[in-house]
Amino acid sequence: GQGVEQPDNLMSVEGTFARVNCTYSTSGFNGLSWYQQREGHAPVFLSYVVLDGLKDSGHFSTFLSRSNGYSYLLLTELQIKDSASYLCAVRDDGMGYKLTFGTGTSLLVDP
């Protein structure tokens, strides 16, 4: 069916890496965004991808495969403060640049 799917939870260790997966099935595709959201705070924009491949933005990298309806957010050299929810959001064919969000993945970084 239509929608954006993410695993609920993810755990990793400080200094290592974490990969947050996202799969989507939408009416059309006009780009995918990743946001970070901390409890009780606004979602903060991290990255936007619209072309296939890996986009390296330092601490955050994003990958997109449009044919597979799949993206991931890769966080490297994890810090404790990276513990947060990471939201995947897809812009479909709707009007006005609407984003459809996934349920978010709660990342816990252990010392």
Partner 1 sequence: GPKVLQIPSHQIIDMGQMVTLNCDPVSNHLYFYWYKQILGQQMEFLVNFYNGKVMEKSKLFKDQFSVERPDGSYFTLKIQPTALEDSAVYFCASSSGGTRAETLYFGSGTRLTVL
Give every CB contact of residue 99 below 8 A, 6+ residues apart in sequence.
33, 89, 90, 91
Map residue 98 onto helix, strand or coil: coil
Q: How far apart are CA 14 and CA 101, in angstroms?
A: 27
**105 binds partner 1, rule: CB under 8 A:** no
To the nearest whole angstrom, how small is the minimum distance from the Cβ of residue 23 to partner 1?
Answer: 14
Q: Which stretch binds partner 1 (CB under 8 A): 9-17, 54-62, 66-74, 87-95?
A: 87-95
List residues near partner 1 by CB under 8 A. 31, 33, 35, 40-45, 48, 50, 87, 89, 91, 94-104
